[in-house]
């Protein structure tokens, strides 16, 4: 099976979910104010598979998307 890193961002008050391939990609779409943490702080938060980070505005989780291997 092939696995791809996925970072899920749930904006608590807006009740919206976003899925990203990297922490840097989050900040291409959302602002630090929307998330409640700076890019630098989140990069240094030690996110790893299965970990989560809670701010006053968002829940951020990192996991793996499991996909089947390409056949052919």
d(CA 72, CA 66): 19
Say what the pLDDT of residue 1 is.
67
Each residue's pLDDT tens digit in the chain (72 positions)?
678 899 999 999 999 999 999 999 999 999 999 999 999 999 999 888 889 999 999 999 999 998 887 766
What is the three-class DSSP state of 17? strand
pTM (2 d.p.): 0.86
Residues 6+ apart with CB under 8 A from 31: none
d(CA 11, CA 22): 17
36 DSSP assignment:
T
């Amino acid at each position: 099976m092939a696995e791809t890193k996925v970072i899920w961002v749930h904006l608590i008050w807006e009740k919206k979910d976003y899925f990203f391939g990297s922490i840097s990609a989050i900040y291409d779409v959302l602002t630090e104010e929307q998330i409640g943490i700076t890019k630098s702080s989140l990069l240094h938060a030690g996110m790893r598979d299965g970990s989560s980070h809670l701010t006053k505005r968002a829940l951020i989780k990192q996991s793996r998307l499991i996909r089947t291997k390409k056949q052919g």
